[in-house]
Structure 1
Amino acid sequence: MRARFFLPTVEVPILLYDRVSDSVSGIYDVSAEDFHAHIEALAADEYKTVSPSRLRAYAIWGIPLPERPFVITFDNAYRSLLSNVKPVLQEQNYSAIINLATTYMAPDPAGRLMLNGEPMLTWSEIKNEMDGDVFIFGGHTRNYVDLERHINPFNEIRASRTDIKRATDFKSSIFSYPFGAFTSKLADDAKRAKIKFAMRYGNEIAKIGAETDFLALPRLRVVGGRHVFNAEVIESISSGVFGKVRITHPAGPSMDMSVLVYDSNLQGEVIKPVARGEIADFDSNKTFEIDLPSDIVFPLIISVFDKSCIVRYFETTVPKISVKRESALGHPPIKLEYEVDIMPVELNLNDEVKTIIQNESLER
């Protein structure tokens, strides 16, 4: 037990998804294509999923975790988990926690129930998945209620655990608080219900160590919707910098994000970004710019992540030939006939010539 007091704290992102759907209607819906891209990027970055029991074993006994551990979670248990999620996780040998609002679980597919307009898993399907190694199941209350407003939250937490045991003969000590509701009183109720691993929202990375409160673990919500990002590199005429990266977000829900820029100077064991920046509530009304140092090497790789730099929403490569050049007056070049570019020139009052003709008529 003494080792616990000297145990290094490990950062473990716990991702929160709701639906992975072929029909994307809002921030709770991630398309199947985007989910596949998220998981492939996480695997390429060498993240490894870990179970709740593995995290508790580290905190209590110091049993080592893999490099870059993380957890995938889904609140509610939509049927699309079997078609859109399970095969993708299996490709990377990943697992995920599925939190059940147990009233919405019918005994078998013949009586399948709906939640938020989507078909849910059934108890027979859940029991079948418990024999595999992809999904781990926990509770999400019995009736999918806001526990802060409920007259008896303890009963709702305990009831979901009881329902899972009755339907599957499996005792689960995992729980997620619905609708972002969390207080220390709810954590006490979870403890009374014999929950050992409970998750809230929080929008931050969980820190696992000897002092971790396993009844109040924060998660990072993955923002759904149809996101569109554009990125361009603009060369500056100013000294000291090469120019800037300009990012726009013309479509998709508002989100907090981080932008990382890598160049092709791949010296050293650790590849670090040459520029990075963060912006909150980034939507279609905003433009985000990051300065680039003068010694960058093309091509550049520009990546858009969530604010914690875990989930990659967008990535593009920019070769030198695609770079735009800033004008002296901060305006784009003037386009003439025959694709002749004339750059606006800032007047020098010390010169004898006070005016510059920028656009002479051209004889054909």
Structure 2
Amino acid sequence: MFGLASAAIGVAISTLRSWLWLSPQHRTRTTLVVLMYHKISDRTCDALTVRQRDFAAQLHWLAQNGYTPISFAELIAYHLHQTNLPQKPIILSFDDNYHNNFVLAYPLLKQLGFKATVFVPVGYVGKTNAWDDGSEPLMSYETMRQMTDLIEFGIHSHSHKDYRTLTADEIAADIAAASRTAAESGFPYSPIFAYPYGGLPKNPVLRRQVKTLLERHGFLCAARIKGTANTLPLRDRYEICRIGISGYDTLDDFIAKLENGKA
């Protein structure tokens, strides 16, 4: 009896949550969660590696609960031009351009017709994650081109150095190199950026300079790591918050991060 009552209450809460999301008075102040992944594995997990079966369960939960993955391009169109977004939008993003994203994540995304975004350290395309002395293979342009039906590719710096530790000149040089390398590649990158290691300089003057540099190089938005959802309309399109998904997260952890907007 108590079980049935609890189930009924759960359904009522779920219905109320959906109504609040959809009702006109809330549509102008809704939220958007941006999830951040790195590696997908069919064997093991760690803080940056999610097992394929767990990733599949997360995607199916999103599908069953009415979420529609969108691109950053769609988010920026909404922000700048007031275009419509789906009722329950979400962004799925991957950092570092790991080849396992193509082998293990892309087929699952394709099955569901889910869009996603991969942020590429453009100085390492077709190489390995040498910035942390790793030997993980990264995608080549040939592989990346096979994914452009669903996957949007953005820039994740040139050198994958932490901007929080660099000078203004070093950051400017890296952004310029990333922009130049992306243009010379001929690959259809989207004008979106993700800060390496997810952070911006704490110094407010340097912080503003970084955003100005990105805008001057044609980037329309930039994403950071911060365990919170984004309020729509965006407060600052050069500080879009992302919530990291760990390989240690259970499905309940995943749902809690999504619903509570916290990492």
Same fold (TM over 0.5): yes
Give RMSD over aligned pairs: 2.4
Taking every aligned residue pair, what percent have the same amino acid on both sides?
21
Q: Is residue 142 from structure 1 mapped to residue 158 from structure 2 by the alignment?
A: yes
Largest Rg, 1 or 2: 1
Q: In 1, are the aligned partners of 2:154 and 2:189 still within 8 Å (CA)?
A: no
Given that 2:71 and 2:91 are in contact with CA atoms closer than 8 Å, whether structure 1 keeps it comes out as yes
SS in 2 for 1:309: helix
Change (3 A) 1:227 1:53: closer
Equivalent-residue separation in structure 2 for 1:88 and 1:310 (angstroms)? 25
Specify whether residues 176 and 41 from structure 1 end up closer, same or farther in structure 2 by C-alpha distance, changes over 3 A only.
same
Does residue 1:67 correspond to 2:87, yes or no?
yes
Corresponding position of 1:299 = none
Q: Is it true that 1:113 corresponds to 2:128 in the alignment?
A: yes
Report the secondary structure of 1:120's partner residue. Answer: coil
- Asked if 2 retains the 8 angstrom alpha-carbon contact of 1:161 and 1:171, the reply is no
Q: Is 1:182 aligned to 2:132, yes or no?
A: no
- Aligned residue for 2:160, secondary structure, equals coil
Q: How far did residue 171 of structure 1 move? A: 4.8
Q: Is the 8 A contact 2:47 2:247 kept in 1?
A: yes
Structure 1: 5+ residue stretches without partners = 1-5, 107-111, 230-256, 258-303, 312-364
Please give the per-residue CA displacement for 1:265-300, whole angstroms capped at 9, x wherever unaligned: xxxxxxxxxxxxxxxxxxxxxxxxxxxxxxxxxxxx
2:243 corresponds to which letter in structure 1?
A: L
Please state which structure has a larger fraction of its residues in helix.
Answer: 2
Asked whether the 8 Å contact 2:154–2:194 carries over to 1, the reply is yes
TM-score normalised by L of structure 1: 0.57
Partner of 1:168: 186
Taking the TM superposition and a 5 Å limit, the aligned residue runs for 1:1-364 are 8-106=28-126, 112-115=127-130, 116-130=134-148, 133-151=149-167, 152-183=170-201, 184-185=207-208, 186-209=210-233, 212-225=235-248, 257=253, 305-309=255-259
Determine the C-alpha separation between the residues in 2 that align with 1:92 and 1:217: 25
1:202, distance to aligned residue in structure 2 (A): 1.2
| DSSP-derived class of the 1:118 partner | coil
Residue 61 of structure 1, CA deviation:
2.6
Shift in Å, 1:170: 2.6
Q: Which has the higher strand share?
A: 1
The answer to whether the Cα contact below 8 Å between 1:139 and 1:157 also exists between their aligned partners in 2 is: no
> Match of 2:255, as an amino acid?
F
Deviations 1:55-92 (A, max 9, x none): 12222332211110010000101111111111111111
What is the SS of the residue equivalent to 2:225? strand
Q: Which amino acid aligns with 1:153?
A: I
Q: Deviations over 1:233-281 (max 9, x none)?
A: xxxxxxxxxxxxxxxxxxxxxxxx5xxxxxxxxxxxxxxxxxxxxxxxx
Structure-2 separation of matches of 1:24 and 1:141? 28
**SS at the partner of 1:60?**
helix
Instruction: Give the number of the structure with larger relative contact order, counting CA–CA contacts within 8 Å between residues 6 or more apart.
Output: 2
Change (3 A) 1:104 1:310: farther
Aligned partner of residue 259 in structure 2, secondary structure: coil
Residues 243 and 257 in structure 2, CA contact (< 8 A), matched pair in contact too: no
Measured after TM superposition, the shift of residue 119 of structure 1 is 0.9
Matched to 2:76, the amino acid is R
Aligned residues: 225
